[in-house]
Amino acid sequence: MVSAKHPRSGSALRASARPASESELSEIPWLKELMADERERALGALVVNEVQVGEYICRIGRPVTYWFGLLDGLLKMSNDDSQGAVITFTGVAPGGWFGEGTVLKREIYRYNIQALRKSRVAGLPVDTFHWLLDHSIGFNRFVMNQLNERLGQFIAAREIDRISSPDLRVARNLAALFHPLLSPNVGGVLRITQQELAYLVGLSRQRVNEALTALADKGWIRVEYGGLRVLDLSSLRSGAL
């Protein structure tokens, strides 16, 4: 199992953070939507941190301090485990920014975000996020698109919960991880192990392996060393098994 660790506080995040490199900045999709002065404000506030396996980036009940984006690695969004089994809402793949609804309302987190593997996470302070909302049309459009796509993602997640076919559950979860807008930096190959996928789907690693074999036999995916390549994203989404 992924070990649980306490999340770092906002002050601890700032203490261990560093500025983003030029290559990391190129991986942040919304920066290209900003005007020169808006970009300068964002670059002055953005930080990057290394997150270890099992570490929580966001934790239920903690106040929001940053808007986060995943540069490299793999994260999962889940409920609180104090009342029973953990329910995973979605995975977060490279290029994905998350938690904008919580940042907009400046409220406490109602979900956990945990690293399934060592990851690099970028953070934009809440105050800078709101400054960009007040000054940047491009940033507003990006955030609105995020909220719209996120709504569709969670509606799909509820549908997945009712799916009895393990193969179809794996297919739909993979399709979500390859979302071109919510995970724009994944490309055609996602670095993920069968155990990590099992954590996200809520199945055993053995059953995930069987599902991946079935999907590969259909020509929808190809299992490669250290990851998965999607060959037919539309079929993964429709799940016509």
Domain C-terminal end among 153, 184, 217: 153
Predicted pLDDT of residue 84: 61
Contacts 24+ apart (CB under 8 A), 98-101: 98/68, 98/69, 98/70, 98/150, 99/58, 99/64, 99/67, 99/68, 100/67, 100/129, 100/143, 100/146, 100/147, 100/150, 101/147, 101/150
Domain that holds residue 28: 10-153
Residue 190 and residue 223 in one domain: yes
Residue 100 and residue 170 in one domain: no
**Count of domains in the chain?**
2
pTM for the model stands at 0.86
Digit-coded pLDDT (tens) for 120-131: 999 999 999 999
Task: Using 70 as the pLDDT threshold, list the residues of the chain that sit under it.
Answer: 1-15, 80-86, 154-164, 239-241
Residue 147 and residue 206 in one domain: no
Predicted pLDDT of residue 80: 67
Digit-coded pLDDT (tens) for 68-96: 999 999 999 988 665 666 677 788 999 99
Residue 118 and residue 227 in one domain: no
